[in-house]
Structure 1
Amino acid sequence: MSEIAWGLASDKTAIVMAVALIIMTVLSAGPLHPIDNFINNAPRPYWDQIREFLIYWPDTVASRFVALPVLGVTALQLAYWHRSWRPIILSAVGVFSMLSLVASMKLLFARSHPRTEDPAFFADSGVSFPSGHGANAILIYGLVLFLIVRYQAARPHIVRRLGYCIVGIAVLQAVVSVYLRFHWFTDLLTGMVAGGLILALTIRLDQMIPQGRTFTWWPWYGRNPWNGADRAPEAAGRD
């Protein structure tokens, strides 16, 4: 366990993302309030015409009700193809870690909702900071892309397009949430950084799990389901 903790803590990308998360939290607590207020109070053209459409369609793209099924189908398909629990384990660990981090920060900082027009932390009631949708856009869809790249499930030009799609989803989610006054601008930026931090840690965890380790857990390939005897040990390299 200590080796895993040290390996995760020493990952350079995770360190950068952790520092960025701390900086964004400090800036969101006060220095960036003028920007939050300016964006929150800006005019909303076509509010009556498109508000309902934005709530029921674009705003749901990065919701867990949409993103998690996409990740689940991807992980299950790759797990079946490669006879490995690794895609499922990585997906579950990444999502659980992200939800834990975001929920803890929401409860700790208790930021008021944009409708109150007060972006202060430690309000009587409020769980605006950071944005769970922002974290979903980076972590969940980022895991989908990572698994596709790791198992070479798509050609390079398709991978690039998927990467552009993730950037587009993140930008769309930020614009729609700000327009609808569901989140402060810094809520969304900090949520994306939090999602990026957990994504970096999940990728690092995958690098630390030895190849073939999760293969022996697969019930139909690592062992014979009838007598428990090992089967095709050389196939463990597929993991």
Structure 2
Amino acid sequence: MLAVALIIMTVLSAGPLHPIDNLINNAPRPFWEELRLPLILWPDTVASRFVALPVLGVTCVQLAYWYRSWRPIILGAVGPFGMMSLVAAMKLLFSRGHPRTGDPSFFADSGVSFPSGHGANAILIYGLVLFLIIRYRAARPHIVRRLAYCIVGIAVLQSVVSVYLQFHWFTDLLTGMVAGGLALVLTIRLDRLIPQGRTALWWPWYGRSLWRGEDSTGEDADASAQRG
């Protein structure tokens, strides 16, 4: 469904939604001089890779350490790589011009506006953090709900800021979120494809020798294999 939605959003962004893009892009921007720099330095960086990837990295390493499994690290590496590959390929293929050019058409002489990498980051990277927390039951249900609300808030904030600053067309952001959602679903499917306990067998510390593959703690290693 998300793959179909991505195709539909791409087709709509190529022409039918141009009036909406132009309407939002040409809307008045009050307090432009006062807000522009603070928005660039703070809210616009929330969904950037420089902020989101360290959050994901810390989560993956901590869960891998707790559960003696490489699975969180594998998912934390494959998910963002797949998402960035998808977004980069679409950017190069469609070559949409920057909103400040005033032309939302595809195949411009220069431009990599479509889709939004920040929009994809907000869904894939923070969504993967939430998925790992849920999978390993690292937080209570009410905390998980609040984290889900935070992800929605980050996505909305990123969209509003990017549109206000004219960094992206409106449809760039929507399509980027769909692309991030698709990459997140594929990453979750990858987790289901990895046999249960397989990544714990490779874990070099806490009960298993890296070179000999022998158990040194018996029941603890078996328990970690079941969790991984």
Deviation at 1:205, TM superposition (A): 1.0
Deviation at 1:200, TM superposition (A): 0.4
Counterpart of 1:70, as a letter, is V
2:54 is aligned with 1:69: yes
SS at match of 1:111: coil
2:226 is aligned with 1:237: yes
2:28 is aligned with 1:43: yes
Task: Mark the CA change 1:206 to 1:225 in structure 2 (over 3 Å): closer, same or farther.
Answer: closer
Task: Mark the CA change 1:54 to 1:218 in structure 2 (over 3 Å): closer, same or farther.
Answer: same
- Indicate if the aligned counterparts of 2:118 and 2:158 stay in contact, CA closer than 8 A: yes
- Indicate if the aligned counterparts of 1:216 and 1:222 stay in contact, CA closer than 8 A: no
Deviation at 1:203, TM superposition (A): 0.6
Structure 2, unpaired ranges of 5+: none
Counterpart of 2:117, as a letter, is G
Percent identity, please.
Answer: 81
Greater shift in the superposed pair: 20-29 or 222-231:
222-231
**Alignment match of 2:180 (pick from 195, 198, 205):** 195
Normalised by the length of structure 1, the TM-score is 0.91
2:61 is aligned with 1:58: no
Matches within 5 A, 1:197-216: 197-216=182-201
- Number of residues of Structure 1 aligned to a counterpart in Structure 2: 224
**Cα distance in 1 between the residues matched to 2:210 and 2:94:** 50
Deviation at 1:220, TM superposition (A): 1.2
- Indicate if the aligned counterparts of 1:215 and 1:222 stay in contact, CA closer than 8 A: no
- What residue in structure 1 maps to residue 104 of structure 2? 119
**Cα distance in 1 between the residues matched to 2:115 and 2:202:** 37
Normalised by the length of structure 2, the TM-score is 0.96
**Alignment match of 1:97 (pick from 82, 85, 88):** 82
Counterpart of 2:132, as a letter, is L
Matches within 5 A, 1:173-184: 173-184=158-169
Aligned-residue Cα RMSD (Å) equals 1.1
**Cα distance in 1 between the residues matched to 2:100 and 2:177:** 22
Counterpart of 1:131, as a letter, is S
**Cα distance in 2 between the residues matched to 1:111 and 1:228:** 52
- What residue in structure 1 maps to residue 128 of structure 2? 143
**Cα distance in 2 between the residues matched to 1:86 and 1:208:** 11
**Alignment match of 2:141 (pick from 125, 134, 156):** 156
**Cα distance in 1 between the residues matched to 2:172 and 2:5:** 14
Counterpart of 2:226, as a letter, is G
**Cα distance in 2 between the residues matched to 1:18 and 1:164:** 24
- Indicate if the aligned counterparts of 1:85 and 1:218 stay in contact, CA closer than 8 A: yes
